[in-house]
Structure 1
Amino acid sequence: MDTPVETPVTNALFQPYTLRSLTIPNRIWMAPMCQYSAEVFGPNAGVVNDWHFSHYTSRATGGTGLILVEATAVSPEGRISIADLGLWNDTQVEALRPITAFLKERGTVPGIQLGHAGRKASTEQQWLGSGPVPPERHGWQTLAPSPLPFDEEYPEPEELTTDRIQEIVGQFAAAARRALSAGFEVVEIHGAHGYLIGEFLSPHTNHRTDEYGGSFENRTRFALEVVDAVRAVWPEDLPLFFRISATDWLTENTEDEREGWTADETVRLAALLREHGVDLLDVSTGGLVPHARIPTGPGYQVPFATRVREETGLPVAAVGLITEVRQAEKIVANGEADAVLLGRELLRDPYFARRAARELGADLQMPPQYHGAAPHRAA
């Protein structure tokens, strides 16, 4: 059971955190995780439904400070799977408003991740195999900086022209406007996990010879153009996040530094993102190639976030096998990250924040409907 309301906050996880004018009530945040459950065809394609409402509102009732709604495509062809959410029309906006309203009512900050899947688009729902969807099953032509398929069974993507690149930049900005209209207070640009922005960043997937390929400056151009376009339409008083794979785990396993995106480049980009108006870096790793050797373990990605924070001053959120209350508390208390983003642990335990408050003796307000279960009440 939760501690009484009058108990003072005395630990790091339950200290509020302010970015621009927005104050997030605690440092336990929900990472974006695809549900692959939207309508696939017709006028309601990409629209949230009762599953999404239940999924997100239960974590808000559980005390999560910030919820980042799953990767939401800026265009139909930008969806990871055929059943992903989208924000390319107003029907999708209207359907999201009840979710953002409920989250705010419960004191949770609603955020959303905007993305384009690039060469990893047009896939089946995860529990049906996750492979590419063929044209006869309403699959579509994928897009990428270079015509390099994700894996052997994936089709070759179409190489983007500079005009198409600019069109996608505009789609990110339009989706950010819709996110604001839907009631979100944080927007995160998805530049991680081998999706389109990450494909531009890594020399492994970007073989272009124009102004979008080759040098670090050219490979980061698209990411910064998207950030600038979104920041231009996103309110000055609301924060903008960027999610990155700090490494695609190729260079770390080879002597050839040309193989992939590196932690050093992540630090360089983080400094630029800060200059371009990004308020927090959500630091993950991997996803660019299907068979990278990744040395996983509890908190294995946290050092990448810590390095960005220490070397650039940009606030960071850590993610990746953070599953225990004391582990999460240590990460924030020691200054390794400004917040923790929980993924699978919040799928297992939607009330993780309430459990953490009990364990740490923190104040976490209960919904009035649950006051009968407060610890000062009779059992």
Structure 2
Amino acid sequence: MSLSALAQVCIASILSEELLISTILDGGGTDGRPFSSATYQNTERRIRYWHLIFHPITLKLSGKVIKNRIYRTPLSEYASTYDEKDIEKTGIPKARYAELYQVPDTQVPLFNSSTELADGGAGLICFGNIPIDRNNLENYNNAVLDPRNPWDPVAAFAPAIRAARSRGALCLPQLQFPGRQVPEFLNPQPKSASDVQLGPCLNKTYGKPVALTKTEIAELVGRYVWASEVLAQAGADGIILHGAHGYILNQFLSPLTNRRTDEYGGSLENRARFILEIVNAIKAKLPSDQFVIAVKFNCQDFIQGGQSFAEQCVVIKWLEEAGVDFFDISGGTYESPAWRGNIMTELADRPSQKARGSYFVEWAQELKKVLSRAVIGTTGGWRDSHRMAEAVENGDVDMIGLGRTLREDPFFVTKAIKGEVRLSKL
């Protein structure tokens, strides 16, 4: 829909809401007197924000269209079974898992209209962590995709995927292998890139990891492919690989946690080999023009000796060339000082965050310059709906990632456009 068409839809609703303001500013009643310049400026601004946030964007490889610029970032659901005595009964999505992604019947109307414009929901919905190995869990009560499980994974995940896609959103479940970031009580000897142990943090202790053999690496690549095929059969539009926050893909990329001396360690090309093999293997089974491959990607690790921004600028280009269509930019690991304290407080105090509205937007801007076609968004720190629209308008990012904000208020974006709220409470 063009901006002029949007304006026709918006003007009637927004100006009617502004009528009282106009009356006060102009010192008159509803007798045909012209609206004040302030009212028109406010209306024009809100129309522009509405247009920007709800303007669709096309993923170049798959050709799939995201209906607006808001995506629901991956958040752990903790809505699946966990049985410490019977591992085969662990990780089965409960009814609550699908309920989290259902749009309530009491959907808040945007313009009291029956058109699809009234939905106002996220254009892309990412599920939270889905471990691909039941013996290596980032936490309990998360859904699990493991080929050894006796239950039907397609039937288990299909209801949540149908719910997420019911209003026209794309659905990308997030696949994850935690590596050394498995709590010790769940597995005292987790598999990782190397045997570098993670010290106590986030109120947990972690076991001494065992380095994956090359045979196990190949098996893990196969697990990512199998899980992707399952989710495709269940109706997902694609998957997002968790390549950030110190999990296994980040562990291979980081020289701090990758001490290998084979073809998976040492040079940046070698450290990136694992994630590129996964992308290529998925693409071989599920062509890019049918299935979206996305990556949650650290701009940097924010820790001495970790993955640097300069190296990530190289890796992100390799991933785009391999067939990644969308990047969700984040940063940091369990070991980063900000994570050990409060990453929100530390990053929120930075002048650039206060000016631009997101923790990682300044790095996303630079990463975007490296890319030629992939869509890029950022997660973390978005609170002001005006800043969100400005970031898209300025070309800083293509999309805005909201997690806790949408979890606490699924209608935040709709309310922001109507002028009922501007700032998230989180």
Partner of 1:24: 66
Partner of 1:357: 417
1:215 pairs with 2:267: yes
**In 2: Cα distance, 1:64 partner to 1:58 partner:** 11
Partner of 2:144: 86
Greater mean deviation of Cα atoms: 331-340 or 73-82: 73-82
1:289 pairs with 2:347: no
Aligned counterparts, 1:154-165, within 5 A: 154-165=206-217
**C-alpha distance after superposition, 1:318-352 (max 9, x if no partner):** 11111221121111111111101111111221112
Partner of 1:49: 94
Partner of 2:192: 144
**In 2: Cα distance, 1:79 partner to 1:155 partner:** 13
How far is the alpha carbon of 1:105 from its aligned partner? 2.3
Partner of 1:323: 383
- Change beyond 3 A, Cα 1:64–1:158: same
How far is the alpha carbon of 1:57 from its aligned partner? 1.6
Partner of 2:133: 75
**In 2: Cα distance, 1:185 partner to 1:44 partner:** 27
Q: Which has the larger radius of gyration?
A: 2
**In 2: Cα distance, 1:177 partner to 1:84 partner:** 19
Partner of 2:114: none
**C-alpha distance after superposition, 1:26-50 (max 9, x if no partner):** 1111000112231012444212112
Residue of 268, 271, 277 corresponding to 2:317: 271
- 8 A Cα contact 2:377 2:399, kept in partner: yes
Residue of 243, 247, 256 corresponding to 1:204: 256
1:227 pairs with 2:276: no
1:306 pairs with 2:365: yes
Residue 264 of structure 1 aligns to a residue whose secondary structure is helix
- 8 A Cα contact 2:228 2:238, kept in partner: no
Residue 248 of structure 1 aligns to a residue whose secondary structure is coil
Partner of 1:256: none
Greater mean deviation of Cα atoms: 283-292 or 5-14: 5-14
- 8 A Cα contact 2:98 2:161, kept in partner: no
- 8 A Cα contact 1:87 1:179, kept in partner: no
Give me the TM-score of the superposition, normalised by structure 1. 0.83
Residue of 179, 184, 192 corresponding to 1:118: 179
Residue of 290, 293, 300 corresponding to 1:240: 293
Residue 368 of structure 2 aligns to a residue whose secondary structure is helix
- 8 A Cα contact 1:113 1:188, kept in partner: yes
- Change beyond 3 A, Cα 1:186–1:308: same
**In 1: Cα distance, 2:164 partner to 2:222 partner:** 28
**C-alpha distance after superposition, 1:60-119 (max 9, x if no partner):** 966121110011111213421122211224623212212222232222221111111111
**In 1: Cα distance, 2:8 partner to 2:163 partner:** 25
**In 2: Cα distance, 1:322 partner to 1:73 partner:** 27
**In 2: Cα distance, 1:281 partner to 1:164 partner:** 27
**In 2: Cα distance, 1:114 partner to 1:193 partner:** 13
Residue 85 of structure 1 aligns to a residue whose secondary structure is coil
- 8 A Cα contact 1:79 1:85, kept in partner: no
**C-alpha distance after superposition, 1:195-223 (max 9, x if no partner):** 00100000011111111111111111111
Give the structure, 1 or 2, with the largest relative contact order (CA under 8 Å, sep 6 or more).
Answer: 1
**In 2: Cα distance, 1:31 partner to 1:100 partner:** 15
Give me the TM-score of the superposition, normalised by structure 2. 0.74
Aligned counterparts, 1:30-45, within 5 A: 30-41=72-83, 42=86, 43-45=88-90
- 8 A Cα contact 1:59 1:346, kept in partner: no
How far is the alpha carbon of 1:173 from its aligned partner? 0.5
Please tell me the root mean square deviation across aligned C-alpha atoms, in Å.
Answer: 2.3
Partner of 1:99: 160
Partner of 1:365: none
Greater mean deviation of Cα atoms: 180-189 or 343-352: 343-352
Q: For structure 1, which runs of at least 5 residues remain unmatched after alignment?
A: 124-131, 252-258, 361-379
Partner of 2:14: none
Residue 347 of structure 2 aligns to a residue whose secondary structure is coil
**In 2: Cα distance, 1:44 partner to 1:14 partner:** 41
Residue of 261, 276, 298 corresponding to 2:307: 261
**In 2: Cα distance, 1:56 partner to 1:339 partner:** 20
Partner of 1:254: none
Residue 9 of structure 2 aligns to a residue whose secondary structure is coil
Aligned partner letter, 2:9:
T
Q: For structure 2, which runs of at least 5 residues remain unmatched after alignment?
A: 1-5, 11-46, 108-119, 349-356, 421-426
1:12 pairs with 2:57: no
Partner of 1:191: 243
